[in-house]
Structure 1
């Protein structure tokens, strides 16, 4: 995975500006998926830790914080959830939050982050196939409307992530890696990635009939992988995650490891 197209932005300064401590902050979106454009924004995702009084008082807690702004000429998109909400999303078979948690593009980390990563495999179920099937269908409808390259790549990425997850039990969001891991991946995938690097909203110069057939075929592959997967019915980490959230909240202090910019963490 390359981080070469991530703009030179001091993400540690962004982390330091947050009103509550962060358990982690990672880069998601097109940079994580392996097909950023030169003008892609930076999608920063993470978990903040509200103090106990923020949850038990009379004021509504800021369980989700979202902000978009321009920093040094780069468009930033920051979304963080409070730890409890994030863990609840993990338990709801939400592929997005697992991709964010497991992203190797780490701007900020902590011991609590590492522990949460270790628990992630225990929330995977075969129902995660529905998440990727649904996301692919949404992106495909957008592609049919706009014929832009971006939603086509998102469609392929979602289907291949779902197939790989059902077969291996591993959340892999990086499309260039998936093209090599999933035998049924279309051979032209690398060409589409190269084309998108030049323009965020460029048109997809493809054989529409062939692409439609390939996407339909990948849906069938995902269905077959779903039917054959060894992943279980329900998350196995509910008690461990409950204890984790309570302990981290009561301690209220994170052993933080972070630095300037983005570091690539091997996974």
Structure 2
């Protein structure tokens, strides 16, 4: 599959006349709980040639789209963000983008852009905004998937993971790891609860369908109590940081020069 993904990235470069800077896995495979039939969620950052940026219309307006999306099939979902879009989102501590930076499944990386970008991460990480994002994700998924006496229990992961990410941020004030295993090891201290989660994880990875089944009460109790607690906690924190825009401008310009000369 790596060879297929690399070939697709090269085709994208040729078709759109861009250079891919970085491409990673971003879905359940990157999180550490893929099923046998999980597709590949490839996300990438790319840069256009200099002339594309030298026009009166800004990126993302009209025909100057700031995303590239390849038609999805059952196996491969691939899309990318143009570099200035990525850096604007980086400036806002965008959680999906921060997860791309943490992915351990890297399909492609070129030039110095990603190393320089990662070095700036502490200057753009807003713990309150990122915690809000994960908490709202957990609440939405909990409401949608985990109500009633019987639930699709594989959906627990889509509430557990953001809640554990919130707990990581609360404790460490850093971007949480993308690995679900690492979050469980670090953030779940109750041995009985950890056993329930690990049992569920093994079933999912093994490919159990896990359709409607009775709720797992210890996990439900943990999630509900943590959502209440974190809702109160996030209101107590605020973050002030210097505007990183000029540093991101410098990164963009230096990458443009490095890639295209």
Which TM-score bucket, shorter chain as reference?
A: 0.7 to 0.9
Structure 2: give runs of 5+ residues left out of the alignment.
none
Confirm or deny: 8 A CA contact 1:42 1:75 kept in the other structure: yes
C-alpha spacing 1:198/1:41, structure 2 compared with 1 (3 Å): same
Aligned equivalent of 2:91: 91
Aligned equivalent of 2:109: 109
Q: How does 1:37-186 map to 2 (within 5 A)?
A: 37-57=35-55, 60-70=63-73, 75-110=75-110, 111-125=112-126, 126-144=128-146, 147-168=151-172, 169-183=174-188, 186=193
Aligned equivalent of 1:28: 26
- What is the TM-score normalised by the length of structure 2? 0.82
Aligned Cα root-mean-square deviation (Å): 2.7
1: CA distance between counterparts of 2:122 and 2:109? 19
Aligned equivalent of 2:199: 191
Off by >6 Å, runs of 4+ in structure 1? none
**Greater fraction of residues in helix:** 2
Aligned length: 244
Structure 1: give runs of 5+ residues left out of the alignment.
1-6, 255-267
RCO comparison, higher one (Cα < 8 Å, 6+): 1
- What is the TM-score normalised by the length of structure 1? 0.80
Q: How does 1:184-223 map to 2 (within 5 A)?
A: 186-187=193-194, 188-199=196-207, 202-203=210-211, 205-223=213-231
Which has the larger Rg?
Answer: 2
Once the two structures are superposed, residues 37-56 of structure 1 have per-residue CA deviations (whole angstroms, 9 ceiling, x without a partner) of 01100010110102232233
